[in-house]
C-alpha cells in the first residue's frame, strides 16, 4: 500500500496545491470582483459593464491613497459556475465588493452566499423583481433596474396617451413575464385592456410570422413587446416587413431597440416607442462627457449596459470616499453604498432605503431616423421612478 502510494506521489502532492494558493491581502488595494459573463451569449454585456466601470475608476486617480483592482469572474451565464466563482472571489481573492451579474437566475443563485458572507453586492443589470423584494438584503444594492420599474411607467403613459387596447408579446421566461405583467397592471389601472398575449420559446424563435398574424387579428391599437439580442433584431425586421407598424403602434420595453441592436435593425425600427432607464440622446453634462470618454477609449457608442456599469463604478467611488477610505467593515461599506446619491449619465440616482433598488428617471423614447443609424428621441421623462419593493423588510 505504501509503495503504491509512493508511486503516485507526484500526482498526490500536485493536485491539492492547485487550490491552496492564498492571496496576500494588501490593505492599500480595494478589490472589486466582477461576476459577469465573459463567455457565452451575454459576453458583450459583460464587457460593456466592465469597460465602463473601469472608465469610472480611471477618471478617479486614487481614493485616499488606495488603488482599485478589478478581478474578473466569468459566470458563463451559468448559475452553478457563477456560484463557484462567487465563492472563489469572496474566500480566495477576498474581494471587498462584488459587481454582477447580468442575468437574474445567476443573481438568485449567488444571493445566499453573498448574504451569508456579508459581501456587498452591486447588481449592474439583473432585473428580477424579487432581488429587491422578497429576496432583498442590506448587502445587495441594485443600481440598474427592476423589471417592474422599466415597464410599469410605460403602461400608465400609454393609457394616458389614449391607447385603449394592447397585445403583449415576450419570450417565455421569468423576465419576459415580469415585464409584461408590470405593463399590464398599470395599463389596466389606467383604463386600457389587454386583448391577447403570446409567449414565444426563449431564444429559440426565429420565425415570428404566426405570432404577427395573431397580433394583427387581435385588432389591438398597440403591441407591447420585449425581446433582446438576436430575437430583438429578427422580430423588429419581420414586424417591419409584415407591415405591422401600419396597423398598430409597436411599443415595448426599450431593450428591444437598444443602441446595441439598432445598427442591425436599421430603419425597420423606426416608429418604435419604448421605455428605458437610459437613452444616448439625454442632453446633460454628465452624459455628454461620458459618451465622449467612452467613445475615445473603446471606439463605440455606449449602451445602457455600459451606463449601468459606469454608475456602478461611480457609486463604489463615492461610497469609499464617504468612509474616508476605510472599507474594512463590510456592514458599514454596504450601508455606505446604499446611502449614495450620484448624478450619472442617465440622471440623478438614489437608492431606495426600503428595498435597496435604485430610484431613477425612466425615459419614453421613439426611434427616429438619424445620420446613419436610427436614434432614440426622448418623448417624455418620468421622474424618480421607484420599484414598489413589496415584501422587503429592510
Partner 1 sequence: MDYMEDKMKAVNYNPRLRLHLFIVLVVSALISIFFGGYFTRFFIAEIAILSIFAMSLDFLAARGGLVSLGHAMFLGIGAYSTTIFILNLGISPFIATILSLLIGCFIGLLISYFIVVLNGIFFIMVTLALGEMFHAWVFTSELLGGSDGISGIIRPDISFMGIDMNDPFIFAIYSLLWMSLIYFILSRITDSPLGRNLDALRQNHMRLSAIGGYAKVYKIIAFTISSGVASIAGSLYVQLNGFISPELTHWTVSGEGLIMIIVGGIGSISGAILGASVVYILQHELSNFISWWMLIVGLLFILVVLFMQDGLWGLIEKLRLRLLKGKNKI
Question: What are the residues binding partner 1 (CB under 8 A)?
Answer: 4-5, 7-8, 11-12, 15-16, 18-20, 22, 38-39, 43, 72-74, 76-81, 83-84, 87-88, 90-92, 104-105, 108-109, 111-112, 128, 130, 135, 172-175, 177, 199, 201-202
Measured from the CB of residue 74, what is the shortest distance to partner 1 in angstroms? 5
Q: Which three cell numbers stand for residue 192?
A: 386600457
**DSSP string over 219-273:** T-SEEEE---HHHHHHHHHHHHHHTHHHHSEEEEEGGGG-TTTHHHHGGGGTT-E
Place of cell 423588429: 236
Q: Tell me which H or E stretch contains 359.
A: strand 358-368
Report the nearest approach of partner 1 to the CB of residue 32 (Å). Answer: 15
- Half-sphere CA count of 198, side-chain side, radius 13 A: 18
Number of Cβ within 10 Å of residue 119's Cβ equals 24
CB count, 10 Å around CB of 317? 19
Nearer CB in complex with partner 1: 204/296: 204
- Neighbouring residues of 283: CB distance < 8 A, sequence distance ≥ 6: none
**What gap in Å lies between CA 166 and CA 183, rounded to an integer?**
10
Least distance (Å) from partner 1 to the CB of residue 154? 22
Minimum Å gap between C-beta 357 and partner 1 is 17
Work out how close the CB of 207 gets to partner 1 at its nearest, in angstroms, rounded to a whole number: 17
Other C-beta atoms closer than 10 Å to the C-beta of 296 total 9
Summary count for the chain: helices (H), strands (E):
14, 14
DSSP 24: P
**Shortest gap between Cβ of 283 and partner 1 (angstroms)?**
35
Name the pairing type of β-strands 97-99 and 222-225.
Answer: unpaired
Answer yes or no: are the C-beta atoms of 345 and 286 closer than 8 Å: yes
For residue 11, the minimal CB distance to partner 1 (Å) is 6
Cβ nearer to partner 1, comparing 127 with 313: 127
CB 323 to partner 1: min, Å: 26
Q: How far is the CB of 69 from partner 1 (least distance, A)?
A: 14
Rounded-to-integer distance, Cα 167 and Cα 171, Å? 14
Q: Which residues contact 252 (CB under 8 A, 6 or more apart)?
A: 223, 224, 225, 226, 227, 272, 273, 274
Nearer to partner 1, 3 or 372 (CB): 3
Q: Which is nearer to partner 1, 104 or 146 (CB)?
A: 104
Report the residue count for the chain: 394
Please say which residue, 33 or 389, places its beta carbon nearer to partner 1. Answer: 33
Inter-residue contact 57 to 64 (CB < 8 Å): no
Cell of 151: 415597464
Query: For partner 1, which is the closer residue by CB, 60 or 84?
Result: 84
Query: Which is closer to partner 1, CB of 130 or CB of 319?
Result: 130
Closer Cβ to partner 1, 77 or 154, answer by number? 77
- Least CB distance to partner 1 at residue 287 (A): 29
- DSSP-derived secondary structure letter, 300: S
Q: Which CB, 169 or 362, lies closer to partner 1?
A: 169
Q: Which is nearer to partner 1, 83 or 392 (CB)?
A: 83
Amino acid at each position: 500500500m505504501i509503495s503504491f502510494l509512493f508511486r503516485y506521489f507526484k500526482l498526490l502532492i500536485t493536485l491539492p496545491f492547485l487550490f491552496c494558493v492564498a492571496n496576500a491581502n494588501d490593505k492599500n488595494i480595494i478589490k472589486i470582483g466582477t461576476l459577469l459573463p465573459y463567455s457565452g451569449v451575454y459576453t458583450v454585456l459583460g464587457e460593456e459593464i466592465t469597460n465602463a466601470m473601469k472608465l469610472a475608476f480611471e477618471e478617479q486617480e486614487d481614493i485616499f491613497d488606495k488603488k482599485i483592482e478589478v478581478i474578473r469572474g466569468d459566470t458563463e451565464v451559468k448559475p452553478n459556475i457563477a456560484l463557484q466563482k462567487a465563492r472563489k472571489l469572496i474566500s480566495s481573492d477576498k474581494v471587498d465588493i462584488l459587481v454582477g451579474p447580468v442575468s437574474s437566475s445567476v443573481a438568485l443563485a449567488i444571493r445566499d452566499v453573498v448574504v451569508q458572507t456579508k459581501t456587498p453586492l452591486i447588481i449592474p443589470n439583473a432585473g428580477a423583481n424579487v432581488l429587491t423584494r422578497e429576496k432583498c438584503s442590506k448587502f445587495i444594492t441594485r443600481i440598474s433596474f427592476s423589471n417592474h420599474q422599466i415597464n410599469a411607467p410605460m403602461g400608465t403613459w400609454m393609457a394616458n396617451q389614449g391607447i385603449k387596447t394592447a397585445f403583449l408579446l415576450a419570450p417565455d421566461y421569468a423576465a419576459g413575464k415580469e415585464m409584461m405583467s408590470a405593463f399590464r397592471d398599470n395599463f389596466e389601472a389606467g383604463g386600457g385592456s389587454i386583448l391577447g398575449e403570446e409567449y414565444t420559446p426563449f431564444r429559440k424563435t426565429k420565425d415570428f410570422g404566426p405570432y404577427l398574424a395573431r397580433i394583427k387579428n387581435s385588432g389591438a391599437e398597440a403591441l407591447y413587446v420585449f425581446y433582446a439580442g438576436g430575437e430583438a433584431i429578427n422580430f423588429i425586421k419581420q414586424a417591419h416587413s409584415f407591415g405591422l407598424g401600419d396597423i398598430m403602434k409597436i411599443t415595448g420595453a426599450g431593450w428591444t431597440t437598444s443602441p446595441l441592436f439598432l445598427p442591425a435593425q436599421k430603419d425597420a425600427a423606426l416608429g418604435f416607442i419604448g421605455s428605458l432607464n437610459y437613452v444616448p440622446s439625454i442632453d446633460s453634462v454628465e452624459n455628454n462627457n461620458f459618451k465622449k470618454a467612452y467613445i475615445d477609449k473603446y471606439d463605440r457608442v455606449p449602451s445602457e449596459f455600459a451606463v449601468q456599469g459606469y454608475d456602478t463604478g461611480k457609486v463604489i467611488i463615492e461610497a469609499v470616499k464617504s468612509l474616508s477610505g476605510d472599507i474594512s467593515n463590510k456592514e458599514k461599506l454596504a450601508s455606505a453604498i446604499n446611502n449614495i446619491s450620484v448624478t450619472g449619465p442617465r440622471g440623478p440616482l438614489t437608492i431606495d432605503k426600503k428595498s435597496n433598488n435604485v430610484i431613477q428617471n425612466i425615459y419614453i423614447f421613439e426611434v427616429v431616423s438619424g445620420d446613419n443609424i436610427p436614434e432614440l428621441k426622448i418623448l417624455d421623462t418620468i421622474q424618480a421612478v421607484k420599484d414598489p419593493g413589496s415584501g422587503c423588510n429592510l
